[in-house]
Amino acid sequence: MSFTGTVVRYETRDHRAYITLNRPERLNAITMEMAQEIEAAVKAANADDDVRVIIVQGEGRAFCAGYDLKIYAESGEAHQGAVWDPIKDFAGMKANTDHFFSLWRSAKPTIAKVRGYAVAGGSDIALSCDLVVMEDDAKIGYMPARIWGCPTTAMWVYRLGAEKAKRMLLTGDTISGTQAKEWGLVIDAVPAAELDAEVERLADRMAGVPINQLVMQKMMINQAYDNMGLQSTQNMAILFDGITRHSPEGRWFVDFAQEHGYGAAVQWRDAGKFIPDGGGAVPSVDEIDAMRAELEAKDGGR
C-alpha cells in the first residue's frame, strides 16, 4: 500500500516510515486535509511488512502549532453561527480525533520527534504517539484551554495524572521539553543538534524486535488505557471542545479574531488578559496595542 499526500509527506527506509507534516510556512498548522492524510500514512505504514517503526515529524522549525486559526477562527469556519448543531460538530471533531489517534491505535510503534512547538492541536498529535522525544527548549502545551478549546484526545491526564494535567489545562501554559521529560510527559528531551540522532537510536532499538512482539506488547499496554475508559473520556472531551467554541466566551473570541485577526486573538488569549464571562465588548485598538507592547517587552521584542 502506497501513500502520496498533499500536506503530509511519507517516506520509508531502514524499516522505518517517516510521516512529515508539511506546511512549514504555517508552522505545520492543522487542516482537515492534514488530519486525514496522517491516518492514510499510518495505514500505509502498517500495511508495509518492511516497516517496524513510524516516526512523525514536522517540516521546518516546528512540529505543529495547532489548528490553523486563520482558517478556523478568523474566517469563522469552525463556528456554526447562531444555532449550534452539537451532533454535526461532534462528528467533525470526532473524525479528526480518530485521524490523530490512528497513531495510538497503529499496530506498529510510533515516535513523535518534536522541534520548536507541539502546541494546541499539535500536542494532540504528538501525545497520540507512543513515545515523544523533544528538543530540550521546544514548547508543548494546550493554550486553547484558556478559551476556545478542549484537547479532544484527552491524553494529558493519561500521561501526566490528574494534578499535573490540571496544572496545564487550568492555565493553558506551555512547558519546555526539559520540564516535559521531568514530569514524565515525554520520554526524552535533548539539545536540538542531537534530536535526529536520538530518535534514530530509539528507532534502531525497536526495529530489531520482531513485528509480532512489537504489536503484542503495544496492544497489551493500550488495552490497560481502554480499560480505564479512554474512549468515553475522549467522547466527552470532543463534545466539550464544541461547547467551548460556541459558548458566549467562544463567540467573543471569534468576533475578536474576525475584527482584529487571528494573531491578535491568540496574543490576547496567551497573555493571560481577562476574557469577559458571557462575552462582552471586543477590546479597543488602544488596549490591543498596549497588550502587544507588553508582550514584546516580555519576550525581548520577538
32 and 124 part of one domain: yes
103 in any annotated domain? yes
Q: For residue 267, what are the contacts with CB-CB under 8 A and spacing of at least 6?
A: 291, 292, 295
177 and 250 share a domain? no
Cell numbers found for residue 180: 516535559
State pLDDT tens for residues 136-179. 999 999 999 999 999 999 999 999 999 999 999 999 999 999 99
In the listed set 243, 268, 287, which residue is the last one of a domain according to the structure?
A: 243
Q: Does 291 lie in the same domain as 164?
A: no
- Domain termination site, one of 243, 264, 285: 243
Confidence band, pLDDT 50/70/90 cuts, at residue 271: confident
* Bridge partners for 189 per DSSP: 134
Does any domain span residue 27?
yes
Kindly tell me if the per-residue pLDDT of 302 is higher than 50. Answer: no
Q: Does the pLDDT value for residue 236 go beyond 70? A: yes
Who wins on pLDDT, 247 or 17? 17
| pLDDT for res 299 | 43
Determine the pLDDT at residue 79: 56
Query: What pLDDT sits at residue 222?
Result: 98
pLDDT class of 256 with cuts at 50, 70, 90: confident
pLDDT at 106 over 50: yes
Instruction: Flag whether 2 is in a domain.
Output: no
Average pLDDT over residues 268-295: 67
Same domain, 130 and 45: yes
Neighbours of 42 (CB within 10 A): 28
219: amino acid identity, one letter: M
* Any domain includes 121: yes
Last residue of a domain, one of 243, 263, 287: 243
pLDDT tens, residue by residue, 11-68:
999 999 999 999 999 999 999 999 999 999 999 999 999 999 999 999 999 999 999 9
Q: In whole numbers, what is the pLDDT of the chain averaged over residues? A: 91
Q: Are residues 57 and 135 in the same domain?
A: yes
Which domain CATH number covers 30? 3.90.226.10
Lowest mean pLDDT among 4-8, 131-135, 232-236, 265-269: 265-269
Is residue 54 in a domain? yes
Name the domain count of the chain.
Answer: 2
Terminal Cα-to-Cα distance of the chain (whole angstroms): 45
Quick one: 144 and 270 in the same domain? no
Q: Which of 153, 95, 151 is nearest to 120 (CA)?
A: 151
Total-model pTM: 0.91
Same structural domain, 292 and 199: no
Residue-wise DSSP of 41-58: HHHHHHH-TT--EEEEEE
Same domain, 169 and 276: no
Is residue 3 in a domain?
no
Shared domain for 167 and 83, answered yes or no, is: yes
Structural domain contains residue 29: yes
If one compares 265 and 27, the residue with the highest pLDDT of the two is 27
In the predicted structure, residue 239 carries a pLDDT above the cut 50: yes
Where do runs of H (alpha helix) occur along the chain? 32-47, 69-72, 86-105, 121-127, 155-160, 162-169, 177-183, 195-207, 211-227, 230-246, 248-260, 262-270, 285-298
The pLDDT, as a whole number, for residue 286 is: 67
Same domain, residue pair 175 and 89: yes
Residues 60, 65: Cα–Cα separation, whole Å: 12
Checking if the pLDDT of 80 tops 70, the result is: no
Domain that holds residue 110: 8-243
Same domain flag for 266 and 204: no
Q: Is 276 a domain residue?
A: yes
> In this structure, are 175 and 250 located in the same domain?
no
